[in-house]
Homo-oligomer: A and B are copies of this chain.
């Protein structure tokens, strides 16, 4: 632990506010790091106190594994919402992006852009939520950076997290790997995150509170890979743009079409009702604790069983099939027996959702 310089007084984490000096790299910045970030995230890499973290290579690499890297800026508004906050969201979001390569997430880096005047009490709450999410996921935050911008040039706090992980040899999960005939699965009900954030933003209350599904999915992915070590072709978390946009992305990457069964797509009744009220389509609403999996048809039952056996996949369902389609359309048999094209999100449905 580095020796602390003599701070004039301890940070006032109850009533204090961020000022420009906290971003200047001098004594105030060092104090913020020591008394808030280092205390909450405490781990040997961060304690190195360097501008970068050094760590040993994970054992998977010696057996032919590959490294992965993912980054995500998080600008959710409001910062605190039912079921979560920016702090845990920015850990889950990046852990999930790493895990969707079939990887074991190893380490996170966090970069904070904070608006002058932001209450230290709220920053502390967010940092502690990040720390808890990081500990729960077993993925330490090993390096970071803090910048401060003038009042009116930011919006509270933005956090960019970047993760590195390792993909074991033999695992090849790729958005370009979906094949006609493959089964399309989701790990649970859709739309809770977007509706939870929007309800808080618009001060809406529903009969049943809708809470964000924000969660780290890497243990679910590990369980899925153990059950189906070969036939798993694609994994992706349907965040911004929702399931519809994620499936269109994959259809484009893989050069395939998709055929969905609306009746099989799980949506909570209260989310369905809220979406109707708000004029939203749950297929386009962001999720933060769900994944889409595409696998060889003969593996679908085993994969579904493995997903359902995991707490974060209890509501998993098989929702459709990959098709041959030169137009790469995602189509859906509706509940009423019709068919429609499920297009990309066009324009913007829910800004600042993650």
Identify the A interface with B (CB < 8 A): 2-5, 19-21, 23-30, 48-57, 61-62, 65-75, 97-98, 100-101, 103, 107, 109-113, 142-150, 152-155, 158, 160, 162-165, 167, 174-176, 236-237, 239-241, 245, 248-249, 252-253, 255, 284, 286, 328, 344-352
Pick from B24, B109, B148, B174: contact of A345, CB under 8 Å: B24
Pick from B3, B4, B54, B101: contact of A50, CB under 8 Å: B101
Q: A62 vs B63: C-alpha distance in the bound complex, in angstroms?
A: 10
Which residues of chain B come closer than 8 Å to A109, judged between CB atoms? 69-71, 162
Pick from B54, B142, B175, B253: contact of A167, CB under 8 Å: B54
Q: A73 vs B344: C-alpha distance in the bound complex, in angstroms?
A: 31
Q: A26-B344, A61-B61 are in contact. List 16 more A-B contacts (CB 8 A).
A: A2-B252, A2-B253, A5-B328, A26-B346, A48-B176, A49-B253, A54-B103, A56-B67, A69-B143, A70-B109, A73-B160, A75-B147, A113-B158, A145-B160, A149-B352, A153-B154
Judge whether A26 and B347 touch: CB under 8 Å: yes
Number of copies of this protein chain within its complex? 2
What is the minimal beta-carbon distance from A80 to any residue of chain B, in angstroms? 17
Judge whether B147 and A73 touch: CB under 8 Å: yes
Judge whether A52 and B70 touch: CB under 8 Å: yes
**Closest Cβ neighbor of A75 among chain B residues:** B147
Pick from B19, B25, B52, B350: contact of A101, CB under 8 Å: B52
Centre residue among A20, A29, A52, A72 by max chain B CB count within 10 A = A52
Pick from B50, B113, B239, B328: contact of A113, CB under 8 Å: B113
Judge whether A57 and B65 touch: CB under 8 Å: yes
Known A-B contacts A154-B155, A155-B149; A25 and B252 likewise in contact (beta carbons under 8 Å): no
Q: A160 vs B147: C-alpha distance in the bound complex, in angstroms?
A: 10
Judge whether A75 and B164 touch: CB under 8 Å: no
Judge whether A111 and B245 touch: CB under 8 Å: no
Judge whether B351 and A49 touch: CB under 8 Å: no
Judge whether A2 and B162 touch: CB under 8 Å: no
Q: A175 vs B102: C-alpha distance in the bound complex, in angstroms?
A: 35
Judge whether B71 and A54 touch: CB under 8 Å: no
Q: A221 vs B152: C-alpha distance in the bound complex, in angstroms?
A: 39
What is the minimal beta-carbon distance from A144 to any residue of chain B, in angstroms? 6
What is the minimal beta-carbon distance from A114 to any residue of chain B, in angstroms? 10
Q: A286 vs B25: C-alpha distance in the bound complex, in angstroms?
A: 10
Which residues of chain B come closer than 8 Å to A100, judged between CB atoms? 50-52
**Closest Cβ neighbor of A142 among chain B residues:** B69
Q: A253 vs B70: C-alpha distance in the bound complex, in angstroms?
A: 30
What is the minimal beta-carbon distance from A39 to any residue of chain B, in angstroms? 17
**Closest Cβ neighbor of A240 among chain B residues:** B25
Q: A147 vs B112: C-alpha distance in the bound complex, in angstroms?
A: 15
Q: A155 vs B154: C-alpha distance in the bound complex, in angstroms?
A: 7
Known A-B contacts A50-B174, A147-B75, A249-B30; A21 and B68 likewise in contact (beta carbons under 8 Å): no
Judge whether B66 and A55 touch: CB under 8 Å: yes
Which residues of chain B come closer than 8 Å to A352, judged between CB atoms? 147, 149-150
Which residues of chain B come closer than 8 Å to A147, judged between CB atoms? 73-75, 158, 352
Judge whether B160 and A71 touch: CB under 8 Å: yes
